[in-house]
Every structure is written in C-alpha cells, then in structure tokens.
C-alpha cells in the first residue's frame, strides 16, 4: 500500500469568506436602519387669519385690431406707460394682468410685456376669461 504525500494547496477557497462578509453586511445594514429613528423637523404653522395686504391690479387687454384697453378704457402705448407709472407710484406692488385676444398679433402683447419689464411692474398673463 502506497501512501501518497499530501501536496500543499496552491489556491484558497474564498466562497466561505465571501458568505461571511455578505452576512455581516446584511446584519450591519439591518442594525443601522433599525437604530435610525429619522429627523425631527419643526414646520411653520400656517396663519388662520387671511392676508390683509391688498395691492392694486390693472387689467390690460390687447384687442384683435391691436388696440389696448386698461381697465376697460382705450389707451395708446405711451398713455399705458404713463398710467402704469402713476399706478406704480401709488402702489409699488401693483400687478398688471395682461389679456391678449387669440386673434391679436402677438407682437402687441410682447410690447406690453416689454413695457412692464421696463417699468419693473409685477405682471401676470390671463389665460381664461376675466370674471368667470
């Protein structure tokens, strides 16, 4: 009977070591998520009283023929500028609502927007019928 001599291993089986590393990783993840309770955030409470701050609003309409109306009164672009300047002097937080008719040339609407930007007036574009 021959006895074979044992040769030294020249490779290492890393599968059991990786299994242990994965198990430790899972345990670590479970323990850290269980120990974190979250952040406490203090949110501001909304006020129950309505805002008493009222600001002036001017409605500028651009009609299909390109004419301008401010609060229902026909004006030119120069008169619109002076009216908006007077309104801004009376109420610096005044808002201009711009309503362009669908059949109007858009260049006229853009000129009103440019005028509001030049005067640094708050503006809004009306997309539905006013008063409905």
**According to DSSP H, which parts of the chain are helical?**
15-35, 77-90, 106-119
DSSP annotation of 66 reads S
pLDDT at residue 129 in the model: 66
Q: What are the two backbone dihedrals, phi and then psi, of residue 119, each rounded to the nearest 5 degrees?
A: -85, -5
Higher pLDDT, 113 or 42: 113
According to DSSP, residue 72 is labeled: T
- Angle at which helix 106-119 crosses helix 77-90, to 10 degrees, equals 30
Taking a C-beta distance cutoff of 8 angstroms, is the pair 119, 81 a contact?
A: yes
Residue 98 DSSP SS3: strand
**Under 8 Å between Cβ of 69 and 108:** no
Q: What's the mean per-residue pLDDT of the chain?
A: 84
Q: Could you tell me the pTM of the whole model?
A: 0.57
CA distance 83 to 75: 9
Q: Each residue of 29-77: pLDDT tens digit? A: 888 877 766 667 787 787 777 767 788 889 999 999 989 999 888 999 9
CA distance 114 to 123: 11
């Amino acid at each position: 009977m021959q006895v074979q001599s044992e040769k030294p291993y020249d490779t290492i089986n890393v599968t059991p070591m990786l299994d242990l590393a994965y198990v430790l990783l899972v345990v670590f993840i479970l323990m850290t998520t269980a120990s974190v309770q979250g952040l406490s955030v203090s949110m501001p409470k909304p006020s129950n009283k309505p805002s008493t701050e009222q600001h002036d609003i001017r409605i500028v309409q651009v009609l299909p023929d390109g004419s301008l109306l401010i609060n229902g009164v026909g004006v030119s672009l120069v008169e619109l500028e002076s009216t908006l300047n007077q309104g801004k002097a009376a109420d610096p937080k005044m808002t201009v609502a711009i309503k362009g008719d669908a059949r109007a040339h858009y260049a006229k609407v853009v000129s009103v927007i440019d005028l509001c930007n030049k005067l640094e007036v708050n503006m809004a574009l009306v997309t539905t019928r006013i008063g409905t």
